[in-house]
Chain A
Amino acid sequence: MLKAYLLLAAAMFAIGLFGVLTRRNAVGILLAIELMLNAVNLNLVAFARAGGGVAGWLLALFLIAVTVAEVAVGLAIVIMIFRVRRTVEADHLNLLRG
């Protein structure tokens, strides 16, 4: 049973990675990162169920909170970049190019 959850999470992680690699829109990339983090969460809870005990839940809970912080800051950056450049296409964001 544990393996089924792990494979499901691995598939979800791979789909998220695909999104990160192929999305052009910065918000779309953030959404794909959410998928990858969610896959990690699923792994942690499955491990907790398979004998890891409370530690897995603790890690998952902390991961949820850290993800929320990451999304808040990431979206704030997206909004700020949009104000400056009028675009959120990742390909056009080359302000730091030397």
Chain B
Amino acid sequence: MTGEAVALIVLGGVLLAASVGVVLSKNLFHSVLWLALALVTTAGLFLALHAEFLAGAQVLLYAGGVVTLVVFAIMLTERLVGETIAQMNRGIGWGALAAAAVFVAIAAVVVPASRQDPGRGASTTAALGEALLTEWALAFEVLGALLVAALLGALYLARADD
């Protein structure tokens, strides 16, 4: 068994367990911690897929930024009123049925597909940077504008009333 297969089995198991923890944990704060584990594990899978730069971005932006934001939001919306941060699920049966149906539908497409693995793509971080700043430079700049607009919008929405 190759190292990549071992990494896939171990990280995949942790990833699925953490995902279940995100959606089933009674404590919202624990959900966020499970999400952080799932995101870091995904970064590990990116490393196994030789996407080192994306693994770094995943840890910095998702596990660092998003998780911090969500923790702040929980503090602001739950602690203020002194309620517990317990949460419940409703309609578990139907939800599980719908989720299982989607999984089966995707698997039914993926499993019989007979596409051969072509030779490994020679993607490098250098190639990614070059593509970002030449062919996709416009999209890259638009993305920057989107981020600024989104953060300004978030700031406006969440500002303190005065």
Chain B interface residue number, banded: 35 or more
The answer to whether A3 touches B111, judged by C-beta atoms less than 8 angstroms apart, is yes
Contact B23 A6, beta carbon cutoff 8 Å: no
Asked if A57 meets B51 with Cβ closer than 8 Å, knowing A32-B23, A79-B157, the reply is yes
Q: Any chain A CB within 8 A of the CB of B70?
A: yes
Q: Is the CB of B57 within 8 A of A76?
A: no
Q: A58 and B136: CB pair below 8 A?
A: yes
Q: Are B66 and A12 in contact (CB under 8 A)?
A: no
State the majority secondary structure of interface residues on A.
helix
Please determine whether A35 and B19 come into contact, CB atoms closer than 8 angstroms. yes
A72 near B38 with CB under 8 A, answer no
Contact with A along B1-37 (1 / 0, CB 8 A): 0001100100010011001101100001001100100
Is the Cβ of A72 less than 8 Å from the Cβ of B111?
no
Residue of A3, A12, A54 near B131 (CB, 8 A) is A54
Looking at the complex, which one of B81, B96, B153 makes contact with A86 (CB distance below 8 Å)?
B81
> Is A93's CB within 8 Å of the partner chain B?
no
| Contact A51 B102, beta carbon cutoff 8 Å | no
Residues of A within 8 A of B20 (CB): 15
- B136: chain A residues at CB < 8 Å are 58
Interface residues of A in 47-69 (CB under 8 A from B): 48-54, 56-58, 60-62, 64-69
CA distance A64 to B57 in the complex (A): 8
Q: How near does chain A come to B82, taking the closest CB pair, in angstroms? A: 12
- Report whether B28 and A28 are in contact in the complex, using a CB–CB cutoff of 8 Å: yes
Is B138 at the interface (CB under 8 A from chain A)?
no
Q: Which of B19, B66, B70 contacts A16 (CB 8 A)?
A: B19
Q: Which residues of A are in contact with B by a Cβ distance under 8 Å?
A: 1-8, 10-19, 21-25, 27-28, 30-32, 34-35, 38, 41-42, 45-46, 48-54, 56-58, 60-62, 64-73, 75-80, 82-83, 86, 88, 91
Q: List 18 A-B contacts (CB under 8 A).
A: A1-B5, A5-B8, A27-B73, A28-B87, A31-B22, A38-B42, A51-B120, A53-B122, A53-B127, A64-B57, A65-B61, A66-B146, A72-B150, A73-B154, A75-B72, A75-B154, A76-B156, A76-B157
